[in-house]
């Protein structure tokens, strides 16, 4: 995962503690009634359960190390070519049973609070929250081959605190069981 730091804080004269969110060489801190939220990754509900949507698994021959020892000699694993990972055999590296093209993916409307302004009363750093797809401002921050989406919202734009994770596929199967 990309290098990001949560929780660096500095005190101010008013007693409010500014909480910085570090994304590589850049730091962000919410102010006023605003919150900074790291948007959750897109999940279609069709992710492979074996590899959890990555398309890769730790190599079973070398235990994910990329090498093995035979006596005092170290050898590069031939199954994974020294990488420590192999292609998932269940999804064949696709990451799911149904692959949604990136252009068709809808932005998630949930995320984790990483910084709060001094006027925020009802939400705290670390909480998972729900908001409208059209709320606030989203910034795509490229970090080491990944993109972190940082969303800046007013406290009034948040709809709810969220606990747990709902699997779309689980709900779909439950509905099918009830209708058949």
pLDDT at site 43: 66
Q: 152 near 139, Cβ under 8 Å?
A: yes
Over residues 97-141, the pLDDT tens digits come to 665 555 544 565 888 999 999 999 999 999 999 888 788 888 888
**CB-CB contact of 10 with 134 (8 Å):** no
pLDDT in the model for residue 116: 93
The answer to whether residue 86 scores a pLDDT higher than 50 is: yes
Q: Which long-range contacts (CB under 8 A, 24 or more apart) does 1-7 make?
A: 1/146, 2/143, 2/144, 2/145, 2/146, 2/148, 3/143, 3/144, 4/38, 4/143, 4/148, 6/114, 6/125, 7/125
User: What are the structural domains, with CATH classification, of the chain?
Assistant: 4-46+106-179 (2.30.33.40), 47-99 (no CATH)
The model scores a pTM over 0.85: no
- φ, ψ (nearest 5 deg) of residue 128: -90, 135
């Amino acid at each position: 995962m990309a290098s990001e730091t949560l929780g660096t804080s500095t005190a101010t004269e008013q007693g409010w503690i500014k909480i910085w969110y570090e994304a590589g060489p850049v730091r962000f801190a919410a102010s006023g009634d605003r919150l900074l939220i790291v948007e959750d990754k897109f999940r279609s509900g069709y992710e492979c359960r074996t590899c959890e949507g990555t398309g890769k698994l730790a190599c079973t021959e070398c235990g994910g190390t990329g090498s093995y020892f035979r006596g005092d000699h170290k050898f590069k694993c031939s199954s994974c070519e020294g990488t420590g990972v192999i292609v998932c055999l269940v999804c064949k590296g696709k990451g799911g049973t149904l692959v949604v093209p990136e252009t068709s993916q809808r932005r998630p409307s949930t995320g984790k609070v990483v910084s709060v302004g001094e006027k925020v009363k009802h939400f705290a750093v670390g909480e998972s929250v729900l908001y409208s797809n059209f709320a606030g401002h989203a910034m795509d921050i490229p970090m080491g081959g990944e993109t972190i989406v940082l969303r800046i919202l007013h406290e009034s734009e948040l709809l709810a605190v969220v606990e747990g994770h709902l699997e779309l596929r689980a709900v779909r199967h439950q509905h099918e069981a009830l209708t058949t």
